[in-house]
Amino acid sequence: MIQLVWINRNHLTDLSQINRMFGTVVVGVGIAGLARIRDLMNPMPASPSEHLKLLGFVSRRSFGNINEAKQISLEDALSSKEIHAAFISTENKSHEEAIRMFLEAGKHVLVEYPMALSAKAAHELWEMAEQKGKVLHVEHIELLTEEYKQLKKEVAGKDLVKGTLHFTGSVLDETKAGFPAFSGIARLTWLIDLFGDLTVTSATREEQKDKNYSRMTVHFQTANKRPLTWVEERGPGMRREKKINFCFTSGCLENFPQAPRSAVGLFMQDQNLFAKKLLGQADRNLTATRFLVGTSKQFSW
């Protein structure tokens, strides 16, 4: 059974936060980390992001400065009283350790998904953030894409008969990215957001290690007993692509609907949401779709 952690609280804006600035640090400078540095240094005018001030970045590699952002040590980032929040943009396997360190140091945390490589660790981190009174925000930019927003509009109010979400992509190092059910958590979140609570009925995985090929197939049932299939397929040279086939009583949706280009970048949208939480303008326990995803037990193969 896929569990949704739904926290419904009356939330009031903390007026003392309105004019506050939050010192931030970016941990990891891959593609996402560089995007975070860019957006923190160039916040959207008149947005919550103007309350975030980049004070440096942390990396195992030596850079010196990146676009006037200075490199600092992990120790300095953890101990600095001027740094209030950390943006974790490292490889998946190191997310859990980084979150723990920064929460323990009394910092708010924004982390790329998946936040951890096990449901148990994720629940422990949420509890830790709650105990520390800190915001723990899991980035989910795939839910912020115009493509997805338009898809959600198309699906809304329709009665599902059956459906499939099939993802393909290049080879991942699972020791760093995690098992497909975690590295591909964005697709699972899509299905839950679109169709509600899901129950796993079966799951299989095919591997051809000599060809670096992997295919995970998970079969679900919706609350109305409708079948849904999620496929994660990876191999050398495979194009990163999502395919859908959702059939409703009114007909089938086999292609993504046309969507306009967003005027605000995905990372900036996510950054604004995080800043709203820090300012008390949004419930700190809500994600972009108002839920947190976990699994009650691991898939067995």
Binding-site positions for NADP(+): 29-32, 59-61, 113
Handedness of CA 168, 172, 175, 177 (dihedral sign): negative
The two tokens of residue 140 are 């989910």
What is the secondary structure of 187-213 as a DSSP string? HHHHHHHHH--EEEEEEEEEEEGGGTE
Yes or no: say if 44 and 59 are a contact pair by the CB < 8 Å rule: no
- Burial profile 161-193: b = 16 or more Cβ within 10 angstroms, e = fewer: eebbbbbbbeebebeebbbbbbbbbbbbbbbbb
Q: Is 42 helix (H, G, I), strand (E, B) or coil?
A: coil
Edge-first strand order for the sheet with 198-208 is 198-208, 213-222, 227-234, 160-169, 241-248, 251-253
Q: Is 215 helix (H, G, I), strand (E, B) or coil?
A: strand
* 42-47, Cβ contacts within 8 angstroms, sequence gap of 24 or more: 43/268, 43/271, 44/264, 44/268, 44/272, 47/268, 47/272, 47/275
d(CA 265, CA 254): 27
Q: Map residue 254 onto helix, strand or coil.
A: coil
Q: Tell me the C-alpha distance between 84 and 101, whole Å.
A: 13
Q: Which residue has the tokens 């992997």?
A: 214
CA distances from 37 to 53, 143, 164, 174 (A): 10, 21, 36, 27
Residue 205 burial by Cβ neighbours in a 10 Å radius (0-12, 13-18, 19+): middle
